[in-house]
Amino acid sequence: DIQMTQSPSSLSASVGDRVTITCRASQSISSFLNWYQQRPGKAPKLLIYTASSLQSGVPSRFSGSGSGTDFTLTINSLQPEDFATYYCQQSYSTPRVTFGQGTRLEIK
């Protein structure tokens, strides 16, 4: 299985900050990388697909980049509703997709 490693595991930031979350794959996955947001007690929500494409309805302050093994999710000008846990997912080996362990974004 392809292993996905996110860093950091947790992050504290303030409203208005810019934050970056990193995801690394154990082998090259081209651009087959997706990002999800999960608020407490809620289902995951798709934010970014194929590394850099913004899902419809997702605010433009979210962006993704990367290819091969290294990827980033950037959130500009953090809003209160952005404090959640973020997961990367590789879909290179669909249907056997794997997720990162998650990055918990907390309010400082």
Partner 1 sequence: EVQLVESGGGLVQPGGSLRLSCAASGFNFSTYIMNWVRQAPGQGLEWVSYISRSSTTIHYADSVKGRFTISRDNAKNSLYLQMNSLRAEDTAIYYCARYGSGSLWNDYWGQGALVTVSS
Residues that bind partner 1 (CB under 8 A): 32, 34, 36, 42-46, 49-50, 55, 87, 89, 91, 94-102
The distance of closest approach from Cβ of residue 80 to partner 1 in the complex, given in angstroms and rounded to an integer, is 22
Please report how close the Cβ of residue 73 comes to partner 1 at its closest, in angstroms. 14
In terms of CB distance, is 69 or 89 closer to partner 1?
89
In whole angstroms, the minimum distance from the beta carbon of 19 to partner 1 comes to 19
Number of alpha carbons in the 13 Å side-chain half-sphere of residue 30: 6
User: Which residue is associated with the tokens 């090259």?
Assistant: 28
Q: What is the CA radius of gyration of the chain?
A: 13
Q: Strand 85-90 and strand 103-107: pairing?
A: antiparallel
Considering the complex, state which of residue 17 and residue 38 has its C-beta at the smaller distance from partner 1: 38
Shortest Å, Cβ 71 to partner 1: 14
Query: Which CB atom, from 22 or from 99, has the smaller least distance to partner 1?
Result: 99
Q: What is the DSSP string of 35-98?
A: EEEE-TTS--EEEEETTTEEPTT--TTEEEEEETTEEEEEESS--GGG-SEEEEEE-TTTTS-E
- Identity of the residue, 39 or 61, whose beta carbon is nearer to partner 1 in the bound complex: 39
